[in-house]
A and B are shown apart, each in its own frame.
Chain A
Amino acid sequence: MELLLPNMIALPDFVNVDAGKRHDCILWVVPSDDTSHRFFFCMRAKGPDRLHGFLGAIKQNGKDPWLLTEVERQRFSGDAKAQGSQGPITQHSEERLVSSDRGVLMVRRMLKQMVADVEAGRDPQTVSLTDGPPRHVESGVFVASPAAID
């Protein structure tokens, strides 16, 4: 997965995970206001199967999320519960960020740089007044060799 400032994600198939498979989908997360957003996606696919997998393949306890009982919601809590339960806007003053949160800190730092650039009259990252070549995105399913992990 790759994130492009400010709000784009390049995503490979996360249901049928194959090593070496490239991303086939671009997702935009567009804020509606301070506490809600709307997803837009465009996907390269031969037929609707990939689309169905993208939209509905993740089930908890064999069920679609909206069919779970209250106790199942607790026992099989997924991304939506983990993220949504932080509140409409998370309370940054109460966080205790540690080394595994490095990615979160990186994104926040880049977003703050974007804000600072605009305030200073500069063009923020990925905005360019000249039409360059199409942007190359490295995203997909990759297998790290044991040596690389060491």
Chain B
Amino acid sequence: MTSASGIDTGTGYGRKRPIHDERLTEVGPGTPMGEAMRRYWHPIAVSSALTNDVPHRTRVLGENLIVFRDGKGRAGVVFERCAHRGSSLYYGRIEDDGIRCCYHGWKYDVQGHCLEQACEPNGGRRRDLGRQPWYPVEERYGLVFKRRSARNTTSVFRSPLLMASRSRWTGSWNSCSPT
């Protein structure tokens, strides 16, 4: 039975569309929280899993990234899309001094410098213009950390607990999808 006026209160009808606080939750490039989060170092891979066999693919703060270890043992992180024509470097080949795209053989070092453009005369006379976007990395506590820029920055979080430890266990897992 309805009230005398015939209007029920507190029902679900006619409510405004629910919204979330984007300043608190959205982390892509250029967003307020995304810019704040990029001031910090974030772990992006487990060091022991990063071999110079095949590249790793990951997604951090809305950016698709490739993490790899070159033949000299240096860790690097670059955009997944090759600066040449956009092929995924996930299918690239790791070499002694960098990672080579599977399509036209452009090779980048751990700082994104283009070392060679395999199909161009002399390995590409203007290859220095073909730089692959990259990020600085630092390995600590068995993890690979990344930040937006190594300039004007503090070091990776310094934990007495982890610095003093001889026996450490590291790992990672992805969040479950919501049910």
Contact = CB atoms under 8 A, between A and B. Distances in A.
A7 interface: yes
Contacts of B160: 134-136
Interface string B138-179: 000111000000001111011111110101111111111111
A41 B143 CA distance: 9
Contact of B175 (A36, A43, A112, A128): A36
B62 interface: yes
Interface in B61-77: 61-62
A124 B32 CA distance: 13
B20 interface: yes
B58 A135 contact: no
A40 B36 contact: no
Interface in A56-97: 73, 80-81, 84-94
A34 B143 contact: no
A112 B172 contact: no
A40 B143 contact: yes
B58 A43 contact: no
Interface of B: 16, 18-21, 23-28, 32-33, 35-37, 39-40, 42-44, 46, 58-62, 141-143, 152-155, 157-163, 165, 167-179
